[in-house]
A and B are shown apart, each in its own frame.
Chain A
């Protein structure tokens, strides 16, 4: 059982006590918040449109809604309005009125999760309905009805403000699971071409995602130099890197194969790469028994930086439009070669997981400190054992190299992807969240 789930169990027991104290109000609020996050992690996995970029956007907006809901009643936290692109000042509380923090966060999470996962299937809809009913009842128990109604309305107003802000960022509408119906055919040998026999994936995923409005970083921030020039010449840097990928399958240890699978984070079969880092953060917050203001701060910053990472990364992917290793290797080196992992259906450079992991490590290191050792339990439910890391960058570096083990990225895409993530993370770390 993950630390996050253990904490949920403890909080559930605490909520069974008969009267409300301040500490219990905090527990109620934390419980509601964490239950919704647990559900969001499932919804990301089970909503087919939620490929990693789309998932990162949903995590960001839901986390910001929660952050602002808490920050509106907490003098230690500063609003992100004016700091995030296009985010106008949010609704303010009536200073003369009383609000119940648990009901505020419950309403904000229920409203924002319901919106950002409105396209999930009937099971997800059923789960959200059940959770909303359950948590509304739990958080309202023992609260003056007038206060409860005011708090719920305010939480919803916060979420509605975030939802309205999200609508024109460029990522609000996804059709055909993000695969365009038309796309220019490759005309140069270095350009990406489809790598699978899946009809839907003959077009690359979300080619316009890099033009979305970012959250904390400037538009088009964190550009990268071009990858090594395409070449089939023996001794060229490109061919050397391709040869390295080619040689990997025959040299992998069991541990390296496990690493490839651990960070595979396939959409619709896992919480996706963004959800992987959210799971890591939730576990660390549970272990330190973090107060709610700390939880919303950590998850908002993580959500923002990972979403920005995908925007920056996708911008470069379609700027350089590089073919995948499997294409080059079969064309030049070995027509029978196959990678360990399924090659994702979009250009290679830079590695998306590397960029977002670099960004996540940059932000989490700032929030939890250097040398923060932790255990990553993300995939225990899927039968993959937990992994221990001495710090967040060790995990990010492993996420990066896993793509080489998996045979889906060249080394340059990994190294420079991690660099790009560091750049993105620095913009997030510059946000001012504490007074």
Chain B
């Protein structure tokens, strides 16, 4: 037997570097006008998303929250630039029950943002009519909403298509009461129909393993996104994490161990992606219960040869396991849901927010589980600052969005909670770092350039983010792409468009918003 000598090194959190600024978030829930709770029992133990998007063209991102057994709620953003966060509930046509997840997407490429509602029951596509009004479009677009417990979403435009391909991840067969385990229902792939007027009947993505987050992502930079699927091992049998390869016009093909895909089985609940190490390939953060994962390509090719989908878990090494509450007196492990990489302190490094909350009074897991705000340090490690930044809510959180609601160049935060009101925080700095905000637009199909890449150059440093639709946990965003610049006083941006065309590097001034379109220099945009 051993003598007592604590393994202190394993418990020590990554220290905060002196040059890593901690932002201050000021909670403005009470005055924000956001009043929404995600309600319901067993069939709503997952989900609870929030969508942020600008549907009235004023540049300020509006908010849609899932209500579960209550109606979904839409709030128009009435904030002023740099001011407090204010929203007003507005009837939008989205006031629908049984919604678990919400994702914005301009499906018909008409310039009006549409909404996909994931539901316990029939999913709905809601056509944007302009000025934040929406109507059901399932029949008009040939979208078969099915009847399932839908929990995850992602979209892409496959090469040559005028209409998006939508993937929807489904959960347990909710009709099974005594033996629901092993009853994962098929995920669906809604591809365009033959004449590009809408959707073809959905294709089952068999086998399916209770997907709680899915994301079309160009993991290997081949130019053809694959579908990354994170599955909840609580309910599948014989399952694992998945990646589907989608060649245009071909049936989806599941990657196998012979491709290099290694079996990983977690309580997968949310996906966030970002090229953290600057090698051009995205890293993937996967929320789970207890340890979360941070996957990086085990052997990223540097010579243009095809990448193999073999990943190493570097969560422990980078300090992002987020496995246990970091404040309070609970010692049980955490439960992670929505995750999002964004630069919240404008130091030029992507940080990580994780929404936390017990599934439903599970005593083996923390009942008071603070959300995480993990700031990235210059050496690539992350340090927990959720308490110092004042976003360590102990509510039972599910969905979330980091977005610049008041267009002051600092990312604010909204978090949805199960059975209790959503919370809103304004990022009140003080932050010395610079930033830019970018909205991308192209004419024709896929106006928001889903599948493209935004790259930012500061001196010799290039940071990049993939323009995706989906992932997280039941929560989607379509709006300004925020990039911190640190102390750089000049920067260049370029877009790699979804068809692979590399736009030119264009000079941008710090602390500005830009509208970027193909063949034209970035146009500066000012709120109001």
Contacts and interface: CB of A to CB of B under 8 A. Distances in A.
Nearest to A127: B178
A121 B331 contact: no
Contact of A175 (B6, B178, B316, B331): B331
B250 interface: no
A115 B313 CA distance: 37
Contact of B178 (A131, A182, A203, A268): A131
Contact of B6 (A48, A174, A184): A184
A130 B42 contact: no
Contact of B364 (A49, A130, A187): A49
Contacts of A177: 290, 332-333, 364
Interface stretch (B47-55, B96-104, B355-363, B493-501): B355-363
A253 interface: no
Interface string B329-340: 001110000000
Nearest to B177: A130
Given A122-B42, A122-B359, A127-B179, A383 B238 contact: yes
B302 interface: no
Given A197-B313, A268-B233, A38 B6 contact: no
Interface string A251-278: 0000000000000000011000000000
A321 B3 CA distance: 12
A185 to B, nearest CB: 4
Nearest to B294: A197
Contact of A126 (B177, B234, B362, B363): B177
Nearest to A318: B1
Contact of B179 (A38, A118, A181, A199): A38
A102 to B, nearest CB: 18
Question: What's the interface size class on B, roughly?
Answer: 35 or more
A268 B236 CA distance: 11
A42 interface: yes
B18 interface: no
Interface residues of A, number: 48
B233 to A, nearest CB: 6
A381 interface: yes
Nearest to A199: B321
Interface in A117-165: 118-123, 126-127, 130-131, 134
B301 interface: no
B6 A185 contact: yes
A186 B290 contact: no
Contacts of A38: 179
A382 interface: yes
Nearest to B360: A122
A121 B362 CA distance: 5
A418 B71 CA distance: 59
B364 A47 contact: yes
B238 A122 contact: no
A122 to B, nearest CB: 4
B45 A134 contact: no
Contacts of B233: 268-269
A417 interface: no
Given A176-B331, A177-B290, A202-B7, A191 B2 contact: yes
Given A122-B362, A186-B2, A199-B316, A42 B7 contact: no
A42 B234 CA distance: 10
Given A49-B364, A176-B333, A269-B265, A321 B2 contact: yes
B7 A382 contact: no
B260 interface: no
A45 interface: yes
Most chain B Cβ neighbours within 10 Å, of A122, A130, A181, A381: A122
Interface in B172-216: 172, 177-182
B291 interface: yes
Contacts of B45: 122-123
Interface in A304-324: 318-319, 321
Interface string A5-40: 000000000000000000000000000000100110
A40 to B, nearest CB: 12
A176 B313 CA distance: 22
Contacts of B323: 199-200
Contact of A119 (B7, B177, B237, B362): B362
Contacts of B10: 194, 199, 202-203
A185 B5 contact: yes
B516 interface: no
Nearest to B361: A122
25 contacts: A38-B179, A39-B178, A42-B179, A46-B181, A46-B234, A46-B235, A118-B363, A119-B364, A120-B362, A121-B234, A122-B359, A131-B178, A176-B324, A176-B333, A181-B11, A182-B6, A182-B7, A184-B7, A185-B6, A187-B2, A199-B10, A200-B324, A202-B7, A321-B2, A384-B238
Interface of A: 35, 38-39, 42, 45-49, 118-123, 126-127, 130-131, 134, 174-177, 181-187, 191, 194, 197-200, 202-203, 268-269, 318-319, 321, 381-384
